[in-house]
Amino acid sequence: MQPLEAGEPTTIGPYRLLGRLGAGGMGRVYLGRSAGGRTVAVKVVHPHFALDEEFRARFRREVEAARRVGAAWTAPVLDADADASVPWVATGYVAGPSLSEAVGERGALRVLPDHSVRVLGAGLGEALAAVHALGLVHRDVKPSNVLLALDGPRLIDFGIARATDGTASLTSTGVSIGSPGYMAPEQILGKGVTGASDVFSLGAVLAYAATGSAPFTGDSSAALLYQVVHTEPEVALPGGDLREVILDCLAKEPSARPAPAEVARRLAPGGAAGLVAAGWLPGPLVEQVSRSAVRLLDLEPSPAPEASGPVPFSKPGVFGPPDPTYGAPAVHASEEPADRQPAAAETAPPPGKLSVSVSAATTQGDNGRGRKVSCTLALAVASAVAAVTLGSVLVFNMLPDNNGDNDGGAGGKQSSRPPAATQSSSPSAEPSTPDGALSEIPERYLGTWQGKAQALGGLLPAGTVEVKVKQADVGKQLGTASMTDELGASTCTDILILQSVTDKELIAVGKAKNKKDARCTKNDHIVRLTPVGDDLQYSSENPDGGDPSARLSKVG
C-alpha cells in the first residue's frame, strides 16, 4: 500500500481513506475505513468512464448484481454510487497479497505448494459456481484478482469489468475486456462469454500458481492472444490429478471444460473450508500477511481537508479509451496509447475530496461516429502531474512551465512546478576516474533491483524503477534502468554504460533505448548507484525527467 499523495482524495462517499492499494485499467483502489470502523477497499473508476452514460447504466446494473453474490471466497460488495461524478464501489477488504504479488520472480515464493494450489482451486471453483448460479460471469479471472488471506482465497473485482464491456469508449477502438494469457479463446474471438470462459481463466490461474508461469507466453499482446487461440498450454507439472484438472480447464472448446463445482470437487472432495481451517498458506506468506495485518491496525485516516475543489488541467483533453495517463498494461487486449494526453495539473493540491466536473461537446469523427472532445476534467483523485511523470525517462517538459509553449488553460496561467535542476543533461563523454576506482563491478551491485521513485526532490511520485546490473568493463553496457509510471501503463528504458565504479558508488551514463517514444526523455544523463545497507540508492541527474531518485531493494 502506498500513502496518499498530493491531489488524491481523503474521503470517498462515507469512507475516510488510509492509503492507495493499487491502480489498473478500470480505476484506482484505495484502502478506506467506515464511520463504524470497518476496513474496506474503495475502487474509483477512471474519469473518462464518467462521460459515458452507457457505462454508468452498466455499472449500476452490474454492481447491483454483484451485491447478490455474497458467496464464500469472494469479497462482498458493500456500497457503491453509480451516480457520483466519478462512480465508485466499496468491497470488503481482504488482508492478504494478490496471487501475482505472492508468486513468481518478484513474489515471496516462486510457486505455491501443491496443497495450497488445491485449496486455491477448490475455493475459486466454489466461488465461481455461486456466481454462475446467479447468471453472472466474472470475465476477468486472473492472478491480480485473486487474494490470498489466512482464512482462504478470495476472488475480487466483480461489477466493474463487465460494466465496461460494450461501452462506446471501449468499442470505438475494438478493446475487449480481459487479460491476455488468461482470456478464453472464445472471448478473444468475440464468440461470446459464458461461465465456461471463467473456467478457462481459472485453469490459467492455477497453472500460474503451481508453476510460477502462465500457460501461454508471447512477446506482445497480439502474440499472446494468438497462442491462447491456436497453441496448447505449457504446464510444467508432473503427471497427476492436479495437472489433469488444469489441462481440462484449459480445453479450447468451452463444452469440454468442467463446471466450477466439478473443479472444486476434484481438488477438494470434502470442500475447501476444511482444508483452509487446517492451514493452507506456506510459512513465508503467513508471515507476510501477519505483518500486513499488524501495520493495518496502526493506520489512521488522513485529516479532513478544510476545503476541496477541482484540479483543472492546463488545457482541454480528449476522452475515450484509457490513455497512458490512466490505463494499465494487462487488462485490455489492445494496448496502443491514446494519441493525445491531458496536460498536467496547474498546481497539485493536498489530498482532498473527490471532485470531478465535465463539460463535453460532440463532433463528428472520421468514421462518422460522434466523438467527445473539448472536455474539461477536474479531478482530485491522483496527482495529475505525477500521473504523467515517468521519472528519469518520461519527457518531463510535457508539463507546462514558464518557458514552454503550453498555455496553461483558462486565463493562460503557467504551471507552478519547481524549476528543473540546472545540471547539464549531457554528461561528459570522457569518463572520470575517482580515487579507489575498481577494474570490475563488485558483487555488491550485481543483480536486479526495484523501488518506488520520486521526482522534483521528493515532491512527486515517479512510478517504479527497476535497475539490472551485470559485470561490464568501463565504457561498456552494464545493464538497464527502466521506469514504469504510477498506473503501470508506460515503461521507458535506459541503457546504462559504465563510467566508473568504487566500493562506495557506481556511476553510469543513461542512454534512451527507444528515442522514438515521445513519452520518454532522449538525453544522455548520469545515473548513480550508492550502497545503503542491503539496498542501493538510485539517483538520475536528468532534469528533463525531474531528477528522480529511489531506494532500491534486490529482487533477483
CA geometry: angle at 322 spanning 316 and 328, to 5°?
A: 135
- Kindly state the cell numbers that stand for 219: 512477446
Please say whether the beta carbons of 529 and 523 come within 8 A. Answer: no
| Burial (0-12, 13-18, 19+ Cβ within 10 Å), 476 | exposed
Instruction: Give the integer Cα–Cα distance in Å for 5 and 14.
Output: 20
User: For residue 16, how many other CB atoms are within 10 A of its CB?
Assistant: 17
Task: List all residues 6 or more positions away from 102 whose beta carbon is below 8 Å from its beta carbon.
Answer: 108, 109, 112, 148, 285, 288
Instruction: Give the integer Cα–Cα distance in Å for 38 and 458.
Output: 32
Q: Cα 484 vs. chain centroid, distance in angstroms? A: 10
Q: Cα 361 vs. chain centroid, distance in angstroms? A: 31
Query: What are the helix and strand counts (H, E) for the chain?
Result: 14, 19
Beta bridge partners of 507: 500, 528
- Kindly state the cell numbers that stand for 195: 461461465
Q: 79, 140, 165, 547: which one is catalytic? A: 140
**Amino acid letter, 411:** G
9-12 and 352-353 beta bridge pairing: parallel
**Amino acid letter, 259:** A
Integer-rounded Cα radius of gyration of the chain: 24
Please say whether the beta carbons of 414 and 400 come within 8 A. Answer: yes
DSSP H or E stretch at residue 241: helix 241-249
In 3D space, the residue among 394, 554, 355 whose CA is nearest the CA of residue 487 turns out to be 394
Q: Is the dihedral of CA 215, 218, 224, 230 positive or negative?
A: negative
Annotated binding site for ATP: 43
Annotated binding site: 43
DSSP H or E stretch at residue 210: helix 195-211
Instruction: Give the integer Cα–Cα distance in Å for 47 and 56.
Output: 12
Task: List all residues 6 or more positions away from 312 whose beta carbon is below 8 Å from its beta carbon.
Answer: 345, 346, 376, 378, 409, 410
Does the active-site annotation cover 219? no
Virtual torsion, Cα 245, 176, 147, 484, nearest 10 deg: 120
* Distance in Å from the first CA to the final CA of the chain: 22
* Residues belonging to the active site: 140
